[in-house]
Every structure is written in structure tokens, then in C-alpha cells.
């Protein structure tokens, strides 16, 4: 990835972060680590590199949100035809409306693989555009800063850092999914007891 970024520069960095925000299987974290290493070596300037990565990621987030927002009426009609799924959809919309900002923020950097799906769900659940954008941009800035900073600080051992970052991200995603499953199971058991 470092060689590609050295050759194609900032447009490639923006394209990679844009594509990753749309759930395309492109390792954006490797591009950010590589960008940080290229900044450390003087091949890229720090502010333009950050801006290119941020612009691509922000545009991808907005596309996902607006796609979810515009398909929401058709999806809502299809899901509410069944009483059970209609209740689940209403509950998900309430949850995202009440606590959605934190979920959007965490899905930008801590649970980054969930980000593209949170974008879509945020639009579908009609989370306010301003609230979505504020939390998404804050989280994306942190994500880009963390990975570029790691690439900058550990430019000499980039392959090792990339492996650790990938493993940590995967582990955090699995922990979040386990916690979510445990929470849902707990709620289901609490309802049965009532």
C-alpha cells in the first residue's frame, strides 16, 4: 500500500477512505498507516494527507447516510407489514434516536468495521443529519489521526503495526458483538420473567 500511495498520492488516499466508508473490502487502515509513514519520510505533507483521508471518509459516510435515508420509506413499509418486525424497527429507531450519536462516534474508530452499516442504519432510522454528521466527523478525525499517527511513529516497523492494528480491531469487533448478544439475551430473559 505504501508504494501505491507514494505513486498515486492524495487522490488514492481519498478514494480508499471513501470506498471503505461504503463497506467495500479495502483496507483503509493500511492506507492510513502508510500515509503516516510517508509523512514521516517526507513524501507526503501532513495536513494535505489528513484532509484527503478525511474528505474521502466523510463523503463515503454521507453517501451511506443519504442512501439509508432515501430507502427508508420503502424499507419501513416492507418491515412494518409484519407486527413483530414493525415493533423491532420502532425500537431500533428509538434507540438510535436516543443514543445514536455515541454509536456513530464509536463506529468511526473503535469499531470501524461497523461504520458503513451504522451510516445506512442512521439514515434509515432518520437520525438527524446534523447529529450524524457531527459525531461521524469527530470519530473520523480521531480514526485518521490515530492510524496516521501510528504510521508516522512506527514507520520503520509498519508491517508489525499493521498486523497488531488488524488483530486489535477484529478483537474489539468480536467483543462488541458478544456484548450486544449478551445484552439482547438478558433483555429477552427479563421479558420472560415478567
Q: How many domains does the chain have?
A: 1
Q: Would you state the pLDDT for residue 110? A: 83
All cell numbers assigned to 123: 439514515
Question: pLDDT, tens digit, for every residue of 20-56?
Answer: 999 898 889 989 999 999 999 899 999 999 999 999 9
CA dist list (Å): 108 to 45, 54, 129: 24, 12, 16
Q: Distance between CA 1 and CA 3 in Å, rounded? A: 5
C-alpha cell at 165: 492494528
pLDDT at 37: 92
Collapse the DSSP code of 11 into the 3-class scheme (helix H, G, I; strand E, B; otherwise coil) and give the result. helix
- Report residues of the chain scoring pLDDT below 70: 1, 72, 75-76, 79, 85-98
Domain that holds residue 189: 2-193
pLDDT at 154: 86
Amino acid at each position: 500500500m505504501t508504494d501505491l500511495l507514494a505513486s498515486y498520492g492524495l487522490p488514492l488516499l481519498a478514494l480508499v477512505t471513501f470506498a471503505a466508508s461504503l463497506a467495500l473490502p479495502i483496507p483503509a487502515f493500511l492506507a492510513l498507516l502508510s500515509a503516516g509513514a510517508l509523512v514521516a519520510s517526507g513524501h507526503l505533507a501532513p495536513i494535505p494527507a489528513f484532509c484527503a483521508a478525511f474528505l474521502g471518509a466523510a463523503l463515503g459516510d454521507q453517501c451511506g447516510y443519504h442512501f439509508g435515508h432515501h430507502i427508508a420509506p420503502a424499507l419501513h413499509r416492507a418491515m412494518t407489514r409484519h407486527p413483530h418486525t414493525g415493533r423491532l424497527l420502532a425500537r431500533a429507531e428509538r434507540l438510535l434516536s436516543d443514543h445514536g450519536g455515541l454509536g456513530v462516534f464509536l463506529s468511526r474508530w473503535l469499531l470501524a468495521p461497523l461504520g458503513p452499516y451504522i451510516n445506512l442504519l442512521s439514515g434509515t432510522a432518520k437520525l438527524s443529519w446534523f447529529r450524524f454528521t457531527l459525531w461521524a466527523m469527530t470519530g473520523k478525525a480521531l480514526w485518521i489521526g490515530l492510524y496516521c499517527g501510528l504510521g508516522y511513529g512506527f514507520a520503520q516497523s509498519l508491517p508489525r503495526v499493521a498486523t497488531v492494528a488488524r488483530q486489535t480491531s477484529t478483537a474489539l469487533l468480536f467483543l462488541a458483538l458478544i456484548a450486544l448478544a449478551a445484552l439482547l439475551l438478558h433483555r429477552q430473559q427479563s421479558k420472560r420473567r415478567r
